[in-house]
């Protein structure tokens, strides 16, 4: 049985060779890459929501080179500490699946038997995610309308994605954990110095959320060396800066062949009350 539920009637979905089906007769094709589409038309705000083809490709290219390995390692360690032998884990806003696959393989290597699902609103991202890890279920879906039954997940990961707290609370089991990953104040500071005349730090705050206990915040700070223009461009294209940088800043970045840059993240860890 799938971790997903029918987005129309809420019934359990059964994964077959080429489609997911529910007892009510609703059917959802499985794309050749391995993901399915569980986003009803009334939940779409454009014809192709989420990251576009170029941004998804840039994210895949950049993350696959391991630049954010310190973050993945810390996430994997924390999840290993918080979960048991056969955890059910949901990655919302999973993008192209680099973190999802890394967590899954880390748990397998530790002798665990995880069941995992990833959702994202971008079909372009999920094409990469489903190719990356065949044993994780992936579906195009909105974080605000997750196609998952109540109290299904032991742990939910949300990495740089929209915060749909009511849905996260609904799908977590009592006592389940929620990891919320955000950029820290000086994340990519040197990149921002190239792009902008007057860069400013990201806001950092500790916000308690109803229905959750705030456990702790895990810092991840490191430096990376980007040694090619293609890697610099991939990083630029996968960030929000790509859409709001003045041409002069983009031109300055395009003139560089290398850059040493800080990466800084904060993992906020909550438990469902």
Q: Would you call 111 exposed, middle or buried from its count of C-beta atoms within 10 A (0-12, 13-18, 19+)?
A: exposed
Q: What would the pLDDT profile of 108-149 be if each residue is shown by its tens digit?
A: 999 999 999 999 999 999 999 999 999 999 999 999 999 999
Q: Report pLDDT for 47.
A: 55
Given a cut of 50, the residues of the chain with pLDDT beneath it are: none
Token code pair at residue 89:
């884990």
Q: Would you call 116 exposed, middle or buried from its count of C-beta atoms within 10 A (0-12, 13-18, 19+)?
A: buried
Say how far apart CA 54 and CA 115 lie, in whole Å: 30
Q: Report pLDDT for 51.
A: 80
DSSP E strands: which ranges in the chain?
14-15, 19-21, 27-29, 36-37, 88-92, 115-120, 137-140, 153-159, 172-183, 212-226, 259-272
The full set of domain ranges for the chain reads 14-43+51-272
Q: Report pLDDT for 98.
A: 98
Q: Span 14-43+51-272: which CATH code?
A: 3.40.50.150
């Amino acid at each position: 049985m799938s971790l997903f539920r029918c987005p129309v009637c809420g019934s359990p979905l059964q994964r077959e060779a080429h489609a997911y089906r529910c007892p009510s007769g609703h059917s959802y094709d499985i794309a050749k890459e391995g993901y399915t589409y569980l986003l009803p038309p009334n939940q779409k705000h454009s014809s192709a929501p989420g990251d576009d083809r170029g941004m998804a490709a840039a994210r895949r290219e950049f993350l696959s080179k391991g630049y954010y390995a310190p973050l993945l390692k810390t996430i994997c360690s924390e999840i290993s500490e918080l979960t048991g032998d056969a955890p059910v884990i949901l990655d919302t806003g999973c993008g192209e699946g680099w973190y999802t696959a890394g967590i899954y393989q880390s748990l397998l290597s530790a002798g665990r038997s995880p069941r995992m699902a990833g959702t994202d609103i971008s079909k372009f991202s999920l094409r990469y995610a489903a190719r990356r890890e065949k044993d994780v279920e992936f579906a195009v879906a909105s974080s605000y309308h997750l196609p998952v039954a109540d109290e299904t997940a032991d742990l939910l990961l949300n990495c740089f994605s929209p915060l749909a707290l009511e849905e996260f609370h609904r799908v977590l089991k009592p006592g389940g954990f929620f990891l919320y990953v955000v950029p820290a104040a000086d994340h990519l500071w040197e990149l921002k110095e190239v792009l902008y005349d007057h860069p400013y730090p990201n806001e950092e705050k500790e916000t308690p959320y109803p229905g959750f206990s705030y456990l702790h915040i895990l810092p991840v700070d490191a430096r990376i060396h980007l040694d090619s223009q293609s890697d610099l461009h991939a990083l630029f294209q996968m960030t929000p800066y790509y859409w709001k940088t003045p041409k002069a800043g983009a031109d300055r970045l395009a003139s560089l062949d290398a850059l040493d840059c800080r990466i800084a993240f904060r993992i906020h860890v909550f438990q469902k009350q």
